[in-house]
Amino acid sequence: MILTVTLNTALDVTYRVPELRPHTTRRVTEVTERPGGKGLNVARVLAALGHDTVVTGFVGGVTGAVLRQLLAEIATPGGGPKAPRGTITDALVPIAGTTRRTIGVVDAATGDTTQLNEPGPIVTTPEWSAFMDGYGRLLREASAVALCGSLPPGVPVGTYAQLIREAHAAGVPTLLDTSGEPLRRGIAARPHLVKPNADELAGLTGSTDPLRAARDARRRGARAVAASLGPDGMLMVTAHGAWRATPPRRLTGNPTGAGDAAVAGLLSGLVEEVPWPDRLARAVALSAAAVRAPVAGEFDRAVYDEALARVEVTEHPPAAA
């Protein structure tokens, strides 16, 4: 199974309005709620791809109860009437605090989404100890682990580095998808793969050139770097080479969750041991297909199949000595 860690889970609430304008009142035409947080979105896409997943992290309060209920009710991630080929197992750790909400407001006139993210509950020392005990047990059965998203209050900034070292000790490959100081600290622990976007990579390395920045991130400890370039695709730098994948066309829609779908593509490629360029193509196709889905954690299967067949992958020349 694939383990996804979401320390700052969320109840994702999406509002759809005909048009969004500041300082005015708008009637909401549709409201959807989904279990959210980056790792939960990744797990839903992985299940749609046929992989058994376990989700862990923290959950609490009224919104946490709703999140767990919705997680249990999920049918097919990615849409469709069939049951998922892969399973999602809830191994979330209860806490006294209340799980945060993330509010997405979709403007039907433009297709743009405005996102509002609450900070999350405070995690106590005993709650953290309970999580670490469970994490150690879950690693024994994991084929890979994804460490995703922001850290809730009360969790040390070096937490991801600690979790990466625990996974290394258990012989489990890691993917890190976070930002800021947690990313900087986590990379130093040598994760197998990091997936920053271009801005996060520039903030880490000081370079605005994605290829140069990705190579710098590898020197800082990451064994491989997959840098998201938004609608322009994704760049991959590994010890075996560097590639860039470009989607066949630009798609409009809801970009929330596109990066999580890309993580699912990279993880599935890792455990299936497919070549790096094929992992990259899968990630870009899933990211494009997620833009066409109504909410994060889902993807349009037809768009994915079409994009995967047409993604262009080009190899970069080796870095100069």
Nearest CA among 90, 159, 94, 117 for reference residue 296: 117
Q: What is the pLDDT of residue 251?
A: 61
Active site residues: 260
138: Cβ–Cβ under 8 A, 6 or more apart, which residues? 3, 54, 56, 91
Longest dimension (CA), the chain: 59
In this predicted structure, what is the pLDDT of residue 186?
96
Structure-token match 């630009």, residue found:
250
225-239 residue pLDDT tens: 999 988 888 999 999
In which band, very low, low, confident or very high, does the pLDDT at 78 lie, cut at 50, 70 and 90?
A: very low
Name the band, by pLDDT with cuts 50, 70 and 90, for residue 320: low
Is the pLDDT assigned to residue 311 strictly greater than 90? Answer: no
Contact 131, 96 (CB under 8 A): no
Per residue, the 3-state secondary structure of 264-285, as one string, reads HHHHHHHHHCCCHHHHHHHHHH
What gap in Å lies between CA 231 and CA 234, rounded to an integer? 9
Whole-model pTM: value is 0.88
